[in-house]
Amino acid sequence: MSYHVKLLHQAAFIEPKDVSMMGNPMRWRVQKLTFASHESLCATEDPYVWDAVKRKVREMGGAVPVEVLKARAIAYVRDNLGLS
């Protein structure tokens, strides 16, 4: 789990806290979510948006970076609000 917390930190999705102790290296816990994380979650909060994004990703082959998911969700919301 600590490894994944560290990866989320490297991707700027969380602010972690290192709680390593002697004899137990690399222990991290989530302290709080970053603005980027909140923005990503907000973009995919609506089930209809998330389903549309997942459909599009499947059409693209099924494996895309998180930033592509976020961009696709934001584009979907913009299109449906007439902001494109």
Q: What is the pLDDT of residue 35?
A: 93
| Residues 52 and 60: beta-carbon distance below 8 Å | no
Same domain, yes or no, for 29 and 45? Answer: no
Same domain, yes or no, for 75 and 43? Answer: yes
Q: What is the pLDDT of residue 32?
A: 94
User: pTM for the complete prediction?
Assistant: 0.67
Element (H or E) spanning 14, and its range?
A: strand 14-18
Same domain, yes or no, for 76 and 49? Answer: yes
pLDDT in tens, the chain (84 residues): 678 888 888 888 999 888 877 667 777 888 999 998 898 888 889 999 999 989 988 998 888 888 888 888 889 889 988 887
Same domain, yes or no, for 70 and 47? Answer: yes
Please give the residue range of the domain that contains residue 11: 2-33
Which residues neighbour 46 within 8 Å (Cβ) at sequence distance 6 or greater?
Answer: 77
Same domain, yes or no, for 59 and 76? Answer: yes
